[in-house]
Amino acid sequence: MIVNGKTALACLTKVASLDGAQVITVEGLGTPENPHLIQEAYALSGAIQCGYCTPGMIMATKALLDEKPNPEVDDIRWALRHNLCRCTGYKKIIEAVQLAGRFVRGEVTPDAVRPKASDGYIGVSHPRPSALPKACGTVHFGADIKLEGALELAVLRSSVPHARIVSIDASEAEKMPGVAGVMRGTDVKGTGVIKFMAPDRPVICGDKVHTIGDPILVVAADTKAQAEAAVKAVKVEFEALPVVENVEASLAEGAIQIHPNLPNLVADASVVKGDAEKALADSAVMVEGRFNTQRVHMAALEPEVTLAYWEDEDEGEDALLVISGRSINIHHALGMLQEALGWENMKYIESSTGGQFGMKLDVVSEAIAGAAAIHFKRPIRYVPSLAESILMCSKRHAYDMKVKLGADAKGKITGYSIDILMDKGAYRSADIFGRSLFTVSGSYNIPNLKCRLRLAYTNNPWGAQPGARDSRRSRSPWNAPWRCWPRNSEWTRSSSDFRTR
């Protein structure tokens, strides 16, 4: 926003400090029917993907152009330095600021650059239908929606990776101002367990936690601040269990079983073509190495906000429970929630989403909000903080890869083997481990391949495979995920072996 002519971060500015100030937000610039030139420039430049960052970007642009209508690229970078974008990247945004400058200076009009329907569709960049509403701040993300009479939630999360829950004392929390009550794992109807690929993730943990961040107890209160204050008053006693830190430890003889009804080994899959062992033994040059990659948090800017409310409430047990989350797989999400919460008449709707990246395939806040709506018989708003979002959501898996690559005397690759240990973390999600095998040779024709992948539970943050769909772009940094890195590294090493021969 712009406060007295200067940009200010709305998320960090206290309303009390704005007494008497002149404040302009993106809603004060224009509407989708009558947009400001800067809003038009962002929409026409393709600078808006999820749109969560867009109001801030536009206001920073307005402050810049008010002061300097013809900025250099460095001026633009400096003006936008406090504004983060996770989806679009900054190139298109810088182009949008440059186009806005041209509009503001009267060098060109939006009508002159806007593609027309008669221009056709192939090879023409038409603005997205959602772009102008996002540029004008009329799109509603989850936390923008207020529900009358809604309770706000705060969730007590595990600070330890593997432990038995000995006791939970919420007696103080229940007496605190504004608190409507608490909800434990035993209060969840239905199975109480999310089954994405396997029934392994409790909606609220009952007797055991499997990873840091596991939900243990939910407090519902009139305000978020009251719920958060009450959560701090809850006392939990844990009995520590051995922590399984990696796949090797998980598969070792005598390793503790993380889920009582599920083996630690989730999958053991192979792809074999030709005879890689023989090809490697016969190769003129053979290189081998071990590569490790870390878990990656995808860092969407919007946390996993969920609203849960009732329609046809008079119908009692047949009332319709509406869950507004942001999964891109709403039918799968609905099925998981119905089973876990034990409520059949349920509808899942998707609100506008501030960053997706595949990590929001998982229902992480929806089940808690839905269970709370059933338990408290009230509408629910669950707005996690960004820190809580990091604790609750899935990450890209960590890989441990042993590779061998061989080539003949002419430098032609003859064989490749890779043995992958993939760290599932505590729960299953969109594992998509098959893609790591199917695309292991990328776009190269390798006659002999031997690829094995083992996926196992650990007590680490749980994994999905965000960005996996880009796996076919063998040079993409988003490559699904990392197995192209050892292949291409070994490639480079083998070629340098040839160069030094």
The contact set with ligand FES (CB under 6 A) reads: 48-53, 85-88, 301, 355
Q: Judged by CB, which is closer to ligand FES: 145, or 301?
A: 301
- Considering the complex, what minimum distance in angstroms separates the CB of residue 52 from ligand FES? 5
Q: What is the DSSP string of 201-233?
A: EESS-SSEE-STT-EEEEEEESSHHHHHHHHHT
Please give the C-alpha separations between residue 475 and each of 399, 442, 479, in angstroms, as whole numbers: 18, 9, 7
How far apart, in whole angstroms, are the C-alpha atoms of residue 423 and residue 455?
6
Q: Residue 431: name the closest of 439, 422, 440 by CA.
A: 422
Please give the C-alpha separations between residue 60 and each of 51, 108, 203, 396, in angstroms, as whole numbers: 15, 22, 41, 32
Q: Judged by CB, which is closer to ligand FES: 137, or 215?
A: 137
| Exposure class string for 306-341: b at 16+ Cβ within 10 A, else e | bbbbbeeeeeeeebebbbbbbbebbeebbebbbbbb
- Considering the complex, what minimum distance in angstroms separates the CB of residue 330 from ligand FES? 20
- Considering the complex, what minimum distance in angstroms separates the CB of residue 153 from ligand FES? 25
- Considering the complex, what minimum distance in angstroms separates the CB of residue 258 from ligand FES? 35
Task: Assess contact for 153 and 382: CB atoms under 8 A.
Answer: yes
Q: Judged by CB, which is closer to ligand FES: 85, or 182?
A: 85
Q: Which two tokens stand for residue 243?
A: 């922590």
Query: Quick check: helix, strand or coil at residue 54?
Result: helix
User: What single letter denotes the amino acid at residue 45?
Assistant: S
Q: Judged by CB, which is closer to ligand FES: 49, or 389?
A: 49
Please give the C-alpha separations between residue 97 and each of 1, 70, 166, 306, in angstroms, as whole numbers: 16, 10, 57, 33
Q: Judged by CB, which is closer to ligand FES: 51, or 406?
A: 51
Task: Assess contact for 55 and 26: CB atoms under 8 A.
Answer: yes
- Considering the complex, what minimum distance in angstroms separates the CB of residue 130 from ligand FES? 11
Q: Judged by CB, which is closer to ligand FES: 86, or 378?
A: 86
- Considering the complex, what minimum distance in angstroms separates the CB of residue 69 from ligand FES? 24
HSE, CB side, 13 Å, CA atoms: give it for residue 487: 28
How far apart, in whole angstroms, are the C-alpha atoms of residue 219 and residue 153?
6
- Considering the complex, what minimum distance in angstroms separates the CB of residue 131 from ligand FES? 10
Q: Which residue has the tokens 């309303």?
A: 15
Q: Judged by CB, which is closer to ligand FES: 352, or 471?
A: 352
How far apart, in whole angstroms, are the C-alpha atoms of residue 322 and residue 301?
24
- Considering the complex, what minimum distance in angstroms separates the CB of residue 142 from ligand FES? 14
Q: Judged by CB, which is closer to ligand FES: 21, or 84?
A: 84
- Considering the complex, what minimum distance in angstroms separates the CB of residue 138 from ligand FES? 16
How far apart, in whole angstroms, are the C-alpha atoms of residue 328 and residue 375?
26
- Considering the complex, what minimum distance in angstroms separates the CB of residue 327 from ligand FES? 17
Q: Which residue has the tokens 């800017």?
A: 301
- Considering the complex, what minimum distance in angstroms separates the CB of residue 88 from ligand FES? 4
Q: Which residue has the tokens 């996690």?
A: 384
How far apart, in whole angstroms, are the C-alpha atoms of residue 299 and residue 48?
17
Q: Judged by CB, which is closer to ligand FES: 42, or 382?
A: 42
Q: Judged by CB, which is closer to ligand FES: 85, or 230?
A: 85
- Considering the complex, what minimum distance in angstroms separates the CB of residue 128 from ligand FES? 11
Sheet holding 208-209, edge to edge: 208-209, 163-169, 235-240
Q: Which two tokens stand for residue 198?
A: 């396997």
Q: Judged by CB, which is closer to ligand FES: 52, or 382?
A: 52
Task: Assess contact for 84 and 61: CB atoms under 8 A.
Answer: no
Q: Judged by CB, which is closer to ligand FES: 355, or 415?
A: 355
> Cα 155–161–165 angle (5° rounding)?
65
